[in-house]
Amino acid sequence: MHKLFVLLLSLQLLLGCASKDESVPFPPDPVGLNPPVLPYENVTPSVVVNTDGLHDGHIRFFLGGMTNPETGGTVDIFYNEVHPSLSSIFVFEDGIGKGLRVTPIAMDTGVQLSLTFVVDNSGSMGAEADAIATSISGFAQYLDSSGLNVRFGIVGYDEYGNISGALDFTTSDSTFIYLDRGRGTMRTQGFGGGNASVLQQLAADSLYRSGGENGAMAIAFAEDNFDWSNNNQGVYVNFTDTCLLPKTNSPDDPFSLQTICARLTEHRTVHTVFSSTRVCPDSLYHPGEISDCTAGITEFVSSDASDLDLLQLDLLEAIVSGYLVEYVTSSPPDTTHQVDIWISSNGAYGRTTITPEY
Domain boundaries, the chain: 42-105+328-358, 113-319
Residues near 96 by beta carbon (within 8 Å), at least 6 away in sequence = 29, 330, 331
Decide: 25 and 42 in contact? Cβ < 8 Å. Answer: no
Check pLDDT > 50 for residue 9. Answer: no
Mean pLDDT of 151-164: 96
What's the mean pLDDT when you consider all of the chain? 86
Q: What is the pLDDT of residues 160-215, one digit of tens each?
A: 999 999 999 999 999 999 999 999 999 999 999 999 999 999 999 889 998 788 99
Check pLDDT > 90 for residue 275. Answer: yes
Q: Cβ-count burial of 197 within 10 angstroms (0-12 exposed, 13-18 middle, 19+ buried)?
A: exposed
20 confidence band (pLDDT: 50, 70, 90)? low
In the chain, % of residues over pLDDT 90: 54
Sign of torsion over alpha carbons 51, 54, 59, 65: negative
Claim: this prediction has a pTM higher than 0.75 = yes
Q: For the beta carbon of residue 134, count every other beta carbon within 10 angstroms.
A: 18
Check pLDDT > 60 for residue 52. Answer: no
Q: What single-letter amino acid sits at 316? A: L
Q: What is the CATH number of domain 113-319?
A: 3.40.50.410
Q: Tell how many helices (H) and how many strands (E) occur in the chain.
A: 8, 15
